[in-house]
């Protein structure tokens, strides 16, 4: 982070907003409000991966992958 100064980083950050009461994420598959989700670890050749899926319809909402510390 040597060539970035703190003022420039603050300008690059996007604003975050708190949603009003009753507004939240919706599952793109079953179109019901996401009030929680399941996660399952998946075997990967390098690192760890998790699959996140809807509690109601069991369709995949996303995947995250974490490489080992040697990968950066």
DSSP 3-63: S--HHHHHHHSPP--PPPTT---B-TTT--B---EEEEEE--SSSEEEEEEETTT--EEEE
Considering the domain boundaries, does residue 9 fall inside one?
no
Position 71 scores a pLDDT of 52
Considering the domain boundaries, does residue 12 fall inside one?
no
Higher local confidence (pLDDT), 20 or 69: 20
Total tally of structural domains belonging to the chain: 1
Position 7 scores a pLDDT of 57
Considering the domain boundaries, does residue 54 fall inside one?
yes
52: containing domain: 21-66
Considering the domain boundaries, does residue 71 fall inside one?
no
Tell me which residue of 6, 17, 54 sits closest to 34, measured CA to CA: 54
Q: What pLDDT digit, counting tens, does each position of 2-59 carry?
A: 555 555 556 666 777 787 888 888 999 999 998 889 999 988 877 788 999 999 999 9
Question: Once rounded to an integer, what is the mean pLDDT over residues 63-69?
Answer: 75
Considering the domain boundaries, does residue 2 fall inside one?
no
Position 1 scores a pLDDT of 46
């Amino acid at each position: 982070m040597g060539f970035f100064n703190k003022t420039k980083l603050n300008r690059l950050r996007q604003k975050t907003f708190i949603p009003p009461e009753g507004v939240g994420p919706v599952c793109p598959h079953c179109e019901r409000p996401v009030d929680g989700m399941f996660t399952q670890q998946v075997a990967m050749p390098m690192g760890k991966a998790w699959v996140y899926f809807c509690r109601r319809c069991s369709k995949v909402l996303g995947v995250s992958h974490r490489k080992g510390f040697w990968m950066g």
